[in-house]
Structure formats: structure tokens, C-alpha cells
Amino acid sequence: MTTRRRHLTATACVALGSLFVGVPDASAQDVGPRDWLNKMASAVQSTNYEGTVIRLQNGKVEALKVAHMNSDGVIREKVLVQEGNGLEIIRNGNEVQCILPDKKSVLVEEWNDQSTLFSTLPSSDIRFGSEYDVSIVRQERVAGRKAIMLAIRPHDDYRYGHRIWLDIATGFPLQTKLIGDNGEAIEQVKFADISIDKEIHASALAPSISTENFRWITQPRRSIVLAVDSVWGAANLPKGFRVVSTHEEELPSREASVTHILYSDGLANVSVFIEPASGNKIARRSRVGASNSYSIEIGGYQITAVGEVPAATLEQIATSMNPN
């Protein structure tokens, strides 16, 4: 084939491909955004999968090997970091083992029902039209599979946006992006390859190294004391946020109980922790991945707001907390 013919063939392939990119299947067109989110929520809980994930966090790109299985409602999962110290995370139900090969240690801690990879995923309970708009953007291919892309756009700068690519066949999230107010991805999770609903062997969920001579460290469990009606509240909540729950917790590193107030707008969550001030110097602002925190001392109490929202949102909530 001559150079000119090869060029014409390549051009024709690109042109032909552009005709089909972004045209959803007829079945995909019949499903609305809320239905896709319902389908996604079910898929995250019930889907067995194994693959390679590329994660962007804190400006750092890392590759993860992931195996996940739901057996009679019990989640078993293994996440293996491919670079650095070779960290392994082994989950069995509500217990997680973090294996640190370089330190010859295993940290054991209690886990909740959140997904290790998809803790920021929205649900169908978002009040679209008030704080967010959601739309189906286009169809693309991710990890070799047909996916529908959803965009969730906030109406103001108090919350982040989301881009989610869902597998058309199952609703499973093949790629997610958390979008900042500058339009750039703060955090991204994307499958480079994935096998869905195929048999996962026990060896894929077991530690890849022997931990026989490792030091095992068990983290003390959080103890929720009781639900309470707290006198504390935020006088200047960003629009759409409301109190979801208030309770007291006993934390291992604290002498006194900590009041925990959870605020939500239906998608973004902000936890506010209130405890007696210790007199020690506190870090006012900090950030890990997409999660920010802001601490301040008010009336002899330390107020700490934490959440995957912009730092300005946390500062506004924390600084407006007061006992009614």
C-alpha cells in the first residue's frame, strides 16, 4: 500500500469513527440519568470484578490491581499498589488489613460499607435542579467496553462536580472524575482493563506475600455512644446543606466524647467534629486527595470540618458553628 493510500485509509477510519462516537445505543437513550444512578448503586454493591485501575490523586498517578467479590452480602476485596512500597489492602467484610511490606507490618482496622475505590459516588437521591444539574453527555469506550458518560454540575462553588462513565451492560462505573471549580480533575479513577462478573479465584483475594513474621497492629474501634440533640449548629450553611445526623463518638485518642454532626446536600457530605480544646496547636487547613479539613477554636472548643468539598465550604461552616 502506498503512503498516500495509507494516509487516506487512516483519514477515512478517523472520519468514520467520529460519526459513531457520542451516539448512544437505542437502549441507552431510553434510560434517564436517575435510572443510571440507581443502576450504578446496585452494580457497585453486587458486581464481581477484577482489573487494573489508574488513579490520579494529589497530582500523583498510580496503578492498582483490584479484585472484588460479593459473596452472600460479604465483601471481599484486594487492592495492590503497583509502585512504591507495594502496599496491599485486604478487605474481608468490615475488617481491612493494610499490609506494609517495607515496614513488615499489618495494620488492622474496622471498615464501613463504603467502597474502597468509589467512596465519592453519588446516589439517585440528589436533588437535581436545586444544587446540581445532571445530564447524559455521550457514549464512549472505557477499558474496551461501551460506556455512557454522565455529568453532574453544581450551581455554585461550594461543591465539586462529577463525571462518571458507566458500563452500558451493567451500570458499573468504569471511570470517575471529581471536578474542581477550575474545571480540572481533582481526583480520577479509571479502569485500564476489567473483567466483570467472571469467577474470581481465592488466590486473587489473598495477600501476595507472607505476613507470618510481620508485626500486627490493631486499631481501636470507634465507638458510637448515642444519637443526640446537640446545641451546636452552623449559622451560615451554604445553600442546600442540612443536618443528616448528630451523635457522640468515643475516639481512641480522645479523653472526652466528640460530637459529630453530619451535613449533606444530597451528594456532598461535611462532617463537623466538636470537642473540648486541648490547648495544643492545631493545623487549621489540611488536604488529602479530594478531602479537605478546616479547624478552628471557638469558645473553648475545637471545631473541625472535614469533607470532599472545596476548602472555602468547610471554612464557612466551621467558622459559623455556635451553641444555640
Residue 279 carries which side chain, given as an amino acid letter?
A: G
Residue whose C-alpha cell reads 473553648 in the numeric block:
300
The string of pLDDT tens digits covering residues 34-58 is 889 889 988 988 899 999 999 988 7
61 phi/psi in degrees, rounded to 5: -105, 130
- The whole-model pTM stands at 0.81
At 21 the pLDDT is 42
Q: Say whether both 98 and 236 belong to one domain.
A: no
SS (H, E, C) 139-166: EEEECCEEEEEEEEEECCCCCCEEEEEE
Q: Say whether both 140 and 289 belong to one domain.
A: no
Nine-digit cell at 216?
A: 500486627
Q: Are 89 and 107 in contact (CB under 8 A)?
A: no
Q: Are 142 and 175 in contact (CB under 8 A)?
A: yes
Nine-digit cell at 251?
A: 475516639
At 111 the pLDDT is 77
- Among 184, 216, 248, give the residue marking a domain's end: 216
The closest alpha carbon to 178, from 230, 219, 229, 122, belongs to 122
Number of folded domains that form the chain:
2
Q: Say whether both 288 and 259 belong to one domain.
A: yes
Q: Could you give the C-alpha distances from 197 to 49, 147, 158, 169, 172, in angstroms and in order?
A: 6, 17, 38, 11, 11
Q: Is residue 7 part of a domain?
A: no
At 227 the pLDDT is 73
Q: Is residue 2 part of a domain?
A: no
CATH number at residue 264: 3.30.200.100
At 293 the pLDDT is 93
CA–CA separation, 108 and 97 (whole Å) = 5
The string of pLDDT tens digits covering residues 52-110 is 999 988 778 899 999 999 888 888 999 999 887 889 999 998 889 999 998 999 999 88
At 45 the pLDDT is 81
At 224 the pLDDT is 62
Residues (pLDDT < 50) of the chain are 1-23, 26
* Angle (CA) 185 79 179, round 5°: 10
Q: Say whether both 313 and 174 belong to one domain.
A: no
Task: List the domain range (segments joined by +) for residue 173.
Answer: 19-216
Mean pLDDT, the chain, rounded, equals 83
Residue whose C-alpha cell reads 462516537 in the numeric block:
21
Burial tier of 147 (Cβ tally within 10 Å: 0-12, 13-18, 19+): buried
Chain centroid, CA 191 distance in Å: 14
Query: What is the end-to-end Cα distance of the chain in Å, rounded?
Result: 80
CA–CA separation, 55 and 64 (whole Å) = 8
Q: Say whether both 204 and 239 belong to one domain.
A: no
At 17 the pLDDT is 39
At 119 the pLDDT is 67
CATH number at residue 166: 2.50.20.10
Q: Say whether both 36 and 123 belong to one domain.
A: yes
